[in-house]
Amino acid sequence: MVEPLPELVLVHGAWHGAWAWDRLLPVLAERGWTASTVDLPSSGSKAGVAADGEALRARLEATPAPKVVVGHSYGGTVITQAGAHDTVVGLTYICAARPDVGDVVWKDPHSPDEVPHWIRVDDHAEACFAEDSAKVLYNDCPAEVVDAAQARLRGQSLASFLEPVTAAAWRERPYAYLICEIDNCVPAASQEDLAEGACHIERIEAGHSPFMSRPAEVEEFLRRAVSSF
């Protein structure tokens, strides 16, 4: 007897919204998945990690179905913060942060050693902005996808990068990791370190947004990842 697929809850990264998954969602639906998304309040407002975690927790509590949470980039921080929910059977990180309790993205938002050159910090807005996103975030995406995504990017709250994580769901649930080998945002070598301890690891010849550039392959990875939980 084939086990039913768990529900996927997709958590986007910094500067984005739930729209980031628009190319993956139809593939998931065609292949038998139930999937939902979360709009993180830190994208476009001054909210931080705690508020993002509450947004994910509310989504997880909406149905009793078994779930796998999927975090991309900064979204990995959010699933780490709130992913040890009773309905969650596993976590999946896509070129994503996997912090421990007390960790922050940046200790100093003005340190060139911590803040990549392609991020512009605006203290007045209490936000930061992705510069050169075509090269950094979407380097292997079709041109029309790049243009549409760039038009929808928003400021990301500084609080989300400065607020410490207070829980580590990956210590309580099995997790899988997808390493993107031509990622210009999170180097593949860093992802290798973040994947340490995962029950399932795969590598894909993709940039930082594989769900936009290679959605079918991301679905295949998710299927194999879920079978490992």
Each residue's pLDDT tens digit, 52-100? 999 999 999 999 999 999 999 999 999 999 999 999 999 999 999 999 9
| pLDDT interval class at 49 (50, 70, 90) | very high
pLDDT, average across residues 200-220 = 98
Domain tally for the chain?
1
The residue range of the domain holding 24 is 7-227
Pair 208, 183: CB distance under 8 Å:
yes
How are beta strands 127-130 and 156-157 bridged, if at all?
Answer: antiparallel
Beta strands in the chain (DSSP E): 7-11, 35-38, 67-72, 88-94, 119-122, 127-130, 156-157, 175-180, 200-204
Instruction: Note whether residue 159 is domain-resident.
Output: yes
* Mean pLDDT, rounded, for 173-182: 98
Residue 13 lies in a domain: yes
For residue 210, tell me if it sits in a domain. yes
> Considering the domain boundaries, does residue 157 fall inside one?
yes
| CA atoms of 134 and 145, how far apart (whole Å) | 10
For residue 5, give every residue at least 6 positions away whose Cβ sits within 8 Å of its Cβ, in sequence order, or none: 32, 33, 34, 223, 226
Q: Is residue 31 part of a domain?
A: yes
- Residue 183 within a domain: yes
Look at the chain and count its residues: 229
What are the backbone dihedrals phi and psi of residue 43, each rounded to the nearest 5 degrees, phi first?
Answer: -90, 105
Q: What is the mean pLDDT of residues 163-181?
A: 98
**pTM assigned to the model:** 0.97
Residues 154, 39: contact at Cβ < 8 Å? no
Q: Is residue 1 part of a domain?
A: no
For position 51, which CATH number holds? Answer: 3.40.50.1820
82: helix, strand or coil: helix
Q: Which amino acid is at 166?
A: T
109 lies in some domain: yes
User: What is the average pLDDT across 126-152?
Assistant: 97
